[in-house]
A and B are shown apart, each in its own frame.
Chain A
C-alpha cells in the first residue's frame, strides 16, 4: 500500500507577528516554525496504518511518503515526519509559497502524486497560518479520489475505510468509503507520537528528494491575497480587584451601566 502525507511548516502561533513590507504576508524574521498541528495527526495516522499492516502478508509492504512545499527550511518538518515513521520525504522547493493559493498547492501535490498510485493521502484539516481548509479536497478532486474531511476516527479493513467526522455541536457522523481516498485530519483523531532517538537517527539516512516547484505543472492561481492586517483591538478583559464587597459593588455598577441585565 502506498500512502502520501502532505505536511506544511507554519510559524508557531505564539510568535510575534508583524506584517511584512509587501502587506500581503507576515515578516518572517524571528519566527519559530513547527509542523502544522493538523498535519501531525495526518502523519501519525499514516504511520499507524503502516504499523497495522506490517506483518499482514496479504498486502504488499506499506510505504509512507511525506511531502512538503516551501523554502529550504521546510525540510525540518519533513525530517520530523520521517523521524515519526514516514519512509521517504519529498521536498517541493518553492520560493513563491507566500503567494500560493490552495488551488496551486493542490495542483503541485496532484502533479507529484498522479502517477504514483497512492491508495491513501492524509492531510491536515487546514493549515494554522492560512486556514483555507481546501488543499486536501482539491487534491482529491484533481486526482479523482474519494475524500472524507474533518476526520476524528479512522479504520481501514482491506480497502474499506470507516471514518468518523466531526460535526457542529460535538456531533459525530460515521462514513464508509473505499481507497483510494484523501483524508483530512482533525484534532482528536490520534495522539501524535514523540519521535524516539533511534528513529531520529534513522530519519537522517532516509531518502529526501527535492523537486523544484517551477518544474511542475501548476494550475492557475484563483485567489490573490489582497492585504494582511492585525485584528482591530477591542476592549480588553477587566479584572476586578480589592475587597470582595468592593468587587461586588463594582460588578453591579458595570452591569447597570453597560448592560441591560440590572435596571
Chain B
C-alpha cells in the first residue's frame, strides 16, 4: 500500500500556468501595497535603528516565531499563538508541496512526500488546520459575542475572520473530496492520518465519482481564490501586522530602557522642535502605527484611560496613523487631542505590555515638546507657574534656592560638599526631599540610616537644582537642559564616586537622561544601595513584624527593573508584604509621572484614589513606596478617599529608620 497522494489530483497540471499567474498577481499586489505604505513611512524624520543588525534579526525571529510578547496576554494571546503556529505549519506544508511538485519532482524525479514522512505530514497539517479553526472560533466568539470592554471591531476584523474561516474550511472540503475519491474505502490506513479530512470526506462518499470530481475542482479554485485574496489583502488590511509587527521587533529601541531623544537646542537650522504634524515624527513612529493590531492591551493597563481621561494609548497610535496616511502634514496634536496628550503619566505600562513593540511614550513626548517649545502651551496655568519657578528658583514650588539644603541642618553625618572633603556618597535630595514637609521626613530618615551604617553624606545644597524630570516630560526640553547642565557641572566639580538619590525620577534622569549630556558618575537609588549594605552586613535592621503592601513606582520598577531590592528591605524590616492586584511589572501609576506632579488632575476620576483603593483592598495597614511623588499622591489619595484609618502611606526609608 502506498502512503502518498497525487499532487494536483483531479485539477491536473494544466492549472499550473493560471495558478502561478494569479499567485504572481497577488504577490505583486502585496509588494505594491507595502511599497505604497513605505512611501508614507519615509516621510517621517530619519532615525537609525539598524545597528547590530544580526542581534536585532535574531531577537525578532525569536519574538515572532515564539510569539513571546503575544502569548503572555492571557487566553486571547495564547489563542493567537496557537493560531500562528498552526498557520506556520500549514505554510510549511504548502511550501513542501510546492518544492516537490515544482522543483524536485520535475527536475530530479525526487518525491519525498511519501511513506512515513507523508503520514506525519498529513497528520500534522490536519491537526494544525483544526487547531486554527478552533482558535478562530474562540477569537470570533470573544470579539463578536463576549465583546470585552474597549475592544473595537472594524471592517478589517470581520474580513479577516471570514477569510481565515473560508480558507480553512474550503481546504478541508477539498481534502475531504479528494479522500472520498482516492482514500476512503481504498487506503484506510493512510486516511486515518488525515482525521479531519476523513470526517469531511465521509460526507461525500455517497456521491458519484463525477460529481465529486467536478465539486472538487470548483472547491479547489475557491480555496485557491481565497488564499490569493489573503496574500493580496495583507498590506491593505490589519493583516499587514504579519509583516509590520514582526519587523517592528527588528526596529526595537536598544538604548537603556526609557532613554529619550536629547534634542540639540542650539541647532540653528532647526525650524521646529517636537512633533505637531505626523511628518515631524520619526519614520519608525509612523511605522509603529502600522504595527498596531488594536489589541487594546495598552488601553487596559493605562491609568489615565481607566480613570476616565480622554487618553487611550491605542487610539493615540491609531489617530497618528490615520493622520499620517491621510495627510502627512496633518496636525497630530489635534487628531490625538491635547487633553489626551497632557493626560499621560508616562508610566510606560502601555509600552511594556505592547506585543508589537510600539513606542508610545516617545510620541507623547514629541507632541508635548511641540506644544511646550513651539507654542508655549502647558496643561494649565499651575504648570506655567511651576515652569517659571523651576527657571527662577530651581524647584517647582518657587521656594528660595538658598534654603534648599536647610532640611539637613543639624544632621551630623551630612554636610554641604562646599565645606567638606570627600564624603562616602553624594546625596542628590531632589526638590521634594528638600522642600516638602512630608518628604523631608523621608530624607532625614534616610540620613539616620546612613549614619547607622557609618556613611558620610555630602549634599549640594543651594547648588542642587531640580533634576529637570517634570519639565522634560511635560515637554520643556529647554528648561530641562538648563537644569541638567547646571547639576552636571556642580556634581562633577566634586568628582564623587557615587550619587545616591531617594527620588526615582531624579535617579532615572541622572542615570539615563544626563548621560547624553556628558554625565558619567555612578548613580544609585537608595533602595539598591541599602539592600547591598544589608547583604554585606554593614547595616543592621531590627526586624519587627507588620503587614504592608508595596507600591512599585514606575520609574524604579518598569523603567529600571528594580523590583526585588525594595521588597528585600521591607522583609528585612519584618514586613509581611501583601501584594496588590497590580504589582511589579504590572504596577499601577500613582498619577504623578510624566510631569503630572505639577498639574492639577481635572478630568475623570483621580488616579491616586484608584491606587490607594487598590492598596486598601489588600487589608495591609500601610502602603509603602520608594518615591516622593508617589508618597505625595498617596497622602492625598488616602485623605480624599477617606482611607486614613485603613492605610498609612510611608516610604521604605521611614520603615527602616524606625527599626535601627
User: Is the Cβ of A197 less than 8 Å from the Cβ of B478?
Assistant: yes
Asked, given contacts A32-B392, A33-B392, A197-B478, whether A12 binds B400 with beta carbons under 8 Å apart, the answer is yes
Within 196-215 of A, Cβ neighbours of B (below 8 Å) are at 196-198, 200-201
Q: With the chains together, A12 CA to B387 CA distance in Å?
A: 14
Which chain B residues lie closer than 8 Å to A195 at the CB level? 376
Q: With the chains together, A189 CA to B373 CA distance in Å?
A: 24
The 8 Å CB contact of A194, one of B268, B384, B462, is B384
Q: With the chains together, A164 CA to B129 CA distance in Å?
A: 80
Asked, given contacts A12-B392, A197-B478, whether A30 binds B376 with beta carbons under 8 Å apart, the answer is no
- Size of chain A's interface in residues, with CB distance under 8 A? 18
| Distance between A124 CB and nearest chain B CB, rounded to angstroms | 16
Asked, given contacts A32-B400, A194-B384, A197-B265, whether A14 binds B373 with beta carbons under 8 Å apart, the answer is no
What 1/0 mask marks residues of chain A from 7 to 38 whose CB sits below 8 Å from any chain B CB?
A: 00000101110000000000000111110000
The 8 Å CB contact of B402, one of A16, A196, A198, is A16
Q: Does B96 contact A (CB under 8 A)?
A: no
User: Is the Cβ of A196 less than 8 Å from the Cβ of B400?
Assistant: no
Q: With the chains together, A12 CA to B273 CA distance in Å?
A: 30
What 1/0 mask marks residues of chain A from 186 to 198 whose CB sits below 8 Å from any chain B CB?
A: 0000010111111
User: Is the Cβ of B400 less than 8 Å from the Cβ of A16?
Assistant: yes
User: Is the Cβ of A200 less than 8 Å from the Cβ of B392?
Assistant: no
Within 428-476 of B, Cβ neighbours of A (below 8 Å) are at 462
Q: Does B289 contact A (CB under 8 A)?
A: no
Q: With the chains together, A30 CA to B403 CA distance in Å?
A: 9
Which chain A residues lie closer than 8 Å to B377 at the CB level? 194
Which chain A residues lie closer than 8 Å to B398 at the CB level? 12, 14
Which chain A residues lie closer than 8 Å to B388 at the CB level? 34, 194
User: Is the Cβ of A16 less than 8 Å from the Cβ of B384?
Assistant: no
User: Is the Cβ of B462 less than 8 Å from the Cβ of A196?
Assistant: no
Which chain B residues lie closer than 8 Å to A16 at the CB level? 400, 402-403
What 1/0 mask marks residues of chain B from 392 to 421 whose CB sits below 8 Å from any chain A CB?
A: 111000111111000000000000000000
The 8 Å CB contact of A14, one of B268, B374, B393, B478, is B393
Q: Does B51 contact A (CB under 8 A)?
A: no
What 1/0 mask marks residues of chain B from 367 to 384 whose CB sits below 8 Å from any chain A CB?
A: 000001111111001001
User: Is the Cβ of A30 less than 8 Å from the Cβ of B265?
Assistant: no
Q: With the chains together, A14 CA to B271 CA distance in Å?
A: 37
User: Is the Cβ of B374 less than 8 Å from the Cβ of A12?
Assistant: no
The 8 Å CB contact of A196, one of B265, B271, B375, B401, is B375
The 8 Å CB contact of A197, one of B373, B387, B402, B403, is B373
The 8 Å CB contact of B462, one of A30, A34, A201, is A30
Which chain B residues lie closer than 8 Å to A191 at the CB level? 381
| Distance between A191 CB and nearest chain B CB, rounded to angstroms | 8
User: Is the Cβ of A34 less than 8 Å from the Cβ of B378?
Assistant: no
User: Is the Cβ of B374 less than 8 Å from the Cβ of A197?
Assistant: yes
Within 476-513 of B, Cβ neighbours of A (below 8 Å) are at 477-478
User: Is the Cβ of A201 less than 8 Å from the Cβ of B402?
Assistant: no
Q: With the chains together, A197 CA to B374 CA distance in Å?
A: 6
| Distance between B361 CB and nearest chain A CB, rounded to angstroms | 21
User: Is the Cβ of A198 less than 8 Å from the Cβ of B378?
Assistant: no
User: Is the Cβ of A197 less than 8 Å from the Cβ of B273?
Assistant: yes
Which chain A residues lie closer than 8 Å to B374 at the CB level? 196-198
- Which residue on chain A has the smallest CB distance to residue B398? A14
Which chain A residues lie closer than 8 Å to B271 at the CB level? 198
Within 80-122 of A, Cβ neighbours of B (below 8 Å) are at none
| Distance between B93 CB and nearest chain A CB, rounded to angstroms | 58
Q: With the chains together, A200 CA to B403 CA distance in Å?
A: 29
A-B contact pairs, 18 of them (CB 8 A): A12-B392, A12-B398, A15-B401, A30-B400, A32-B400, A33-B392, A34-B392, A194-B378, A194-B384, A194-B388, A196-B375, A196-B376, A197-B265, A197-B273, A197-B373, A197-B374, A198-B373, A201-B268
List the 3 closest pairs (A to B, CB-CB), nearest first.
Answer: A30-B402, A194-B376, A197-B373
Other CB < 8 Å A-B pairs besides A194-B378, A197-B374, 14 of them?
A: A14-B393, A15-B402, A16-B402, A16-B403, A31-B402, A32-B402, A34-B392, A193-B376, A194-B387, A196-B375, A197-B265, A197-B373, A197-B477, A198-B271
